[in-house]
């Protein structure tokens, strides 16, 4: 992957491998720009994220690595932040980083992508779950707090698909993303999950392309071996839709590279 902005570290308690190992893996796979965006702290569901008191240490480690590898690869610093109204913290939102990824992993406190809470899927109408998910993405975009939309259609993770057409359900979210100036990531984690395809689907990516919404690429690696996996698949997918450049951020400023 030329640009790969969504990667984790063991600080979130569910990823493995040293920062050096992730970077070595990226270099081996000819990545030009590699970003860490570990799960930011929040006073909610603390076991899947770093603690507030670990932020400075995390940032220092990434910045040290940026210096160490500067002749081989560009390292960027970010956070993946859960969009949860009233739970997001200024210490994260105002952190001195290259970018923030905004992700929806929770609908009214329900961690819908967590296999521990699979039972909840049967308690609600499937179309309503999907619509609520995209409405929450729309709400997130409207806050203009973030640079990148994490895994835009993560709601398909277990392949519980809606009965209605998806693109119309996502339309308002896409318009809000366009208006907010955010970037969509092409995230390969879906290939590792039941749904076995990228986030977002080709259909939604076409919808984004029509609105001229920029894209970036994301391994969403939780292990060094996952860095740049499925690179060919998402590069082809992006090209097939018409994309020729991908975005990245330095100090919250959007820049582009041709791919």
For Zn ion, the binding residues (CB under 5 A) are 103, 150
Minimum distance between the CB of residue 143 and Zn ion, rounded to whole angstroms? 17
Q: Least distance from C-beta 111 to Zn ion, angstroms? A: 11
Kindly tell me which of 103 and 219 has the beta carbon lying closer to Zn ion. 103
> If we measure between CA atoms, which residue out of 73, 190, 199 comes closest to residue 148?
199
> CA distances (Å), 98 to each of 54, 84, 111, 172, 186, in order?
18, 21, 27, 27, 18
Beta strands in the chain (DSSP E): 3-4, 33-39, 74-82, 99-103, 106-107, 110-111, 148-149, 183-187, 215-218, 245-250, 253-258
Please state the closest distance from residue 12 (CB atom) to Zn ion, in A.
Answer: 6
Minimum CB separation of residue 192 from Zn ion in Å reads: 12
> What phi, psi does 41 have (nearest 5°)?
-65, 155
Nearest residue (CB) to Zn ion, 58 versus 69: 58
Tell the smallest beta-carbon distance from residue 35 to Zn ion (Å).
Answer: 14
- Partnered with residue 249 across adjacent β-strands are 254
Q: Which is nearer to Zn ion, 180 or 226 (CB)?
A: 226
Q: Report how far residue 172's alpha carbon sits from residue 137's, in angstroms, rounded to the nearest whole number.
A: 9
Q: Are the C-beta atoms of 215 and 243 separated by less than 8 Å?
A: yes
Closer CB to Zn ion, 69 or 227, in the complex: 227
Q: Please, which residue, 15 or 69, has the CB nearer to Zn ion? A: 15
Give the residue closest to Zn ion by C-beta: 103
Residue 103 or 226 with smaller CB distance to Zn ion? 103
Tokens of 88: 């997001």
State the minimum distance, in angstroms, from the CB of residue 113 to Zn ion.
8
Nearest to 15 by CA among 199, 226, 170: 226
3-state secondary structure of 92: helix
Q: Which is nearer to Zn ion, 158 or 256 (CB)?
A: 158
Residue-level length of the chain:
259
Min dist. Cβ of residue 79 to Zn ion (A)? 11
């Amino acid at each position: 992957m030329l640009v790969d902005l969504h990667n984790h570290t063991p600080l979130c308690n569910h990823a493995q491998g040293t920062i050096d190992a992730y970077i070595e893996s990226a270099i081996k796979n000819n990545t030009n720009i590699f970003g860490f965006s570990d799960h930011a702290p929040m006073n909610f569901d603390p076991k899947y994220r770093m603690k507030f008191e670990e932020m400075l240490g995390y940032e220092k480690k990434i910045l040290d690595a940026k210096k160490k590898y500067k002749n081989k690869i560009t390292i960027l610093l970010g956070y993946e932040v859960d969009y949860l109204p009233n739970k997001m913290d200024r210490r994260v939102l105002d952190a001195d980083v290259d970018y923030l990824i905004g992700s929806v992993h929770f609908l009214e406190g329900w961690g819908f992508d967590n296999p521990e809470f699979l039972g909840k899927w049967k308690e609600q109408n499937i179309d309503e779950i999907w619509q609520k998910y995209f409405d929450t993405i729309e709400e997130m975009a409207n806050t203009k707090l973030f640079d990148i939309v994490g895994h835009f259609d993560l709601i398909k993770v277990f392949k519980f698909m809606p009965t209605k057409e998806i693109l119309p359900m996502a339309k308002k979210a896409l318009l809000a993303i366009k208006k907010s100036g955010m970037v969509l990531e092409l995230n390969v984690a879906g290939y590792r999950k039941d749904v076995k395809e990228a986030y977002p689907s080709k259909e939604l990516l076409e919808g984004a392309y029509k609105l001229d919404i920029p894209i970036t690429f994301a391994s969403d690696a939780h292990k060094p071996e996952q860095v740049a996996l499925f690179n060919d698949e998402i590069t082809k997918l992006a090209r097939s839709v018409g994309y020729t450049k991908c975005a990245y951020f330095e100090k919250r400023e959007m820049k582009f590279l041709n791919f």
